[in-house]
Structure 1
C-alpha cells in the first residue's frame, strides 16, 4: 500500500466520506465513535484505522496503519530499523523529526508531512498520517468527487 504524503494511503484520500471508503474497500470490520464523537473505521485485513472528524462533516482526516505492505517512496517501512528508514527519507527532504518516548515506544513526528513513525525496540511498528492543516488553520482536503 503506497503512502501518499499529504494525501493519504493507497485509495484512501483525506476528505473522503464514509460511503466513499466503503465503496473502495467494503464495510469495515468495526466502526465506532471515539470520545469526541468522531467516527472510527477499522479494517483488519488492511491493518488500518481511520478517523472521520465530526467537526469536519465526517471527512476522513487521520490514518493509523501497521501493514507490512506500507511503502513510502517505493521502500517498505514496517519492521525496519528507524535509522534505516530515516536514511531512506533524507534524500527526499524529510529530515526533521520531533522525538517522543513512551515506555518502550518512540514516536518520530514530521510536522511538514504530518506523519508519525512509531517504533518499539528501535523498529517501526506503526505509521500515522494526518490531513494537512494550512496557515489559515483549515484542513487541506485532497479528495474531489
Structure 2
C-alpha cells in the first residue's frame, strides 16, 4: 500500500466519507469512536486504522498503519531502520522533524506533511498520517470532495 503524503493511502483520499471508503475496502472489521466522538474504522488484515472526523461531516482525515507492505515514495518503511527511512525522505525534501520519546518509543513528526513515524529499537513500527490544512490554515485541504 502506497502512502501518498497529503493525499491518503492506496486508493483512499483524505476527504472521503465512510460510504466511499467502504466501496473501496468493504466493511471494516470493527467500528469504534475516540474521545472526540470521531468514527474509527479498523481493517485487521490491512493493519489499518482510519479516522473520520465528526466535526467535518465524517470525512476521512487520519490513518495509522503497521502494515509491513506500506511504502512511501515506493520505499518500504515498516521494520526499516529510521536512519534509512529518513535518508529516503530527505531525498524528497522532507527534512524538518520534531522528536519526542515515550518509554521504548521515539516519535518523529513532520508538520508540513502531517506524518508521524513511530520507532522502537531504531526501527519504524508504525506510520500515522493526517490530512493537511490549506494555505489559510483554518480548514482541511480535502483531496476528495
Report TM bin, short chain. Answer: over 0.9
Structure 1 equivalent of residue 32 of structure 2: 32
Structure 2 equivalent of residue 46 of structure 1: 46
Tell me, what secondary structure is at the counterpart of 2:113? coil
Tell me, what secondary structure is at the counterpart of 1:112? helix
* RMSD between aligned residues: 0.8
Q: Is 1:92 paired with 2:92?
A: yes
Structure 1 equivalent of residue 9 of structure 2: 9
Structure-1 separation of matches of 2:89 and 2:16: 27
Given the two structures, how large is their TM-score scaled by the length of structure 2? 0.97
The ranges of structure 1 where at least 4 consecutive aligned residues each deviate by more than 2 angstroms after the TM superposition are: none
TM-aligned CA deviation for residue 135 of structure 1: 3.7
Consecutive unaligned residues of structure 2, counting only runs of 5 or more, are none
Structure 2 equivalent of residue 134 of structure 1: 134
Q: Is 1:116 paired with 2:120?
A: no
TM-aligned CA deviation for residue 2 of structure 1: 0.5
TM-aligned CA deviation for residue 134 of structure 1: 2.3
Structure-2 separation of matches of 1:75 and 1:135: 29
Structure-2 separation of matches of 1:142 and 1:55: 17
